[in-house]
Amino acid sequence: MMLNMSKPNFFIIGAPKSGTTALAHYLSEHPQVYFSKPKELFYWADDHPRARTRYNMFALDDYLRFFETADSTKHLAIGEGSTNYLQSRTAVSHILKFNPASKFIVLLRDPVEVAYGMHGELLRHYFEDESNFEVAWALQQRRASGEQIPPKAVMEHQLQYSDVIDYASQLSRLFALVPPEQRKVFLFDDFTSDTKRVYRDSVEFLGLTDDGRTDFPRVNPARQYRSHLIGRFFQSPPAFIEPIMKRFRVWYASQSESLKEIVGKTLSREEPRFPLREEFKTELRNVFRPNVEAVEKLLHVNLAVWK
């Protein structure tokens, strides 16, 4: 039986590595917002079934329990932020069947940076076992056929790096399903250069009162575990420990950002990645160019910097 509780009514759906965690954090501190902890629940993307196992999202009641303390009289915006929903072929349509009034926020970033950043994120979670991004990029076709999938890869869809940044198809799918007044697309460059404006635009889009926020601390910097032993134990433990670690990850994700920052600094360190070879970066830009040009037409913007 479905639990009697408030329904989520807005979703930050992607793209990954594009500032979604920061925007979710800022919005979560607005007095009229209730945001799920963990941020990403992965429930609605049934074409990514293994992602649901991250937090045991097997039934609607499992999902709704993450919103059971929301107060619909106080919290006008109740949301979550699963970035795989933008890549998913099914998530948005399922969400609209669940709540037709749902609103969707999308952030888009230079596809070269997103693809490379996604590779680093998967490495950190031990969902990717090829440390060289150029090699991992070349493996996409074989992996799409089920070959050379990392044994711990829960997010197999994210190993298809070109699909992660297929913004043209993703936006076309979103625009076909969601009316303009229920969707908002931001560019990462605008978010970083004028965070206050993007935040206020998001607050207005969600129908909330301007809370006058002016402080926007850095959130979710690129990090690496100080020890592979610690990283593997937390992210990819032996099978007999995994149920315990799942419960711990859910608990950890529900904690305050200040506590997570302390733990994060203890267990990991900020570590920017080496820049890509210029020749490979040029190759990627040529591959992505038709997609970027299609996005320019969809959004009526100039994305020359991405090309």
Query: Tell me, what CATH number does 291's domain have?
Result: 3.40.50.300
Spell out, as residue ranges, where the chain has pLDDT lower than 70: 1-5, 220-236, 246, 250, 253-254, 256-271
What is the model's pLDDT at position 1?
Answer: 37
- Environment class of 186 (CB within 10 Å of its CB; exposed 0-12, middle 13-18, buried 19+): buried
What is the model's pLDDT at position 160?
Answer: 97
Residue 231 lies in a domain: no
N residues, the chain: 307
What is the model's pLDDT at position 232?
Answer: 63
What is the model's pLDDT at position 226?
Answer: 57
Domain residues for the domain of 82 are 10-222+272-306
User: In angstroms, rounded to a whole number, what is the distance separating the alpha carbons of residues 82 and 85?
Assistant: 6
Residue 5 lies in a domain: no
Domain count, the chain: 1
82 neighbors 43 (Cβ within 8 angstroms): yes
What is the model's pLDDT at position 4?
Answer: 43
What is the model's pLDDT at position 18?
Answer: 97
Residue 188 lies in a domain: yes
User: In angstroms, rounded to a whole number, what is the distance separating the alpha carbons of residues 85 and 180?
Assistant: 18
Residue among 277, 307, 282, 276 nearest 292 (CA): 307
Residue 2 lies in a domain: no
Residue 234 lies in a domain: no
What is the model's pLDDT at position 152?
Answer: 83
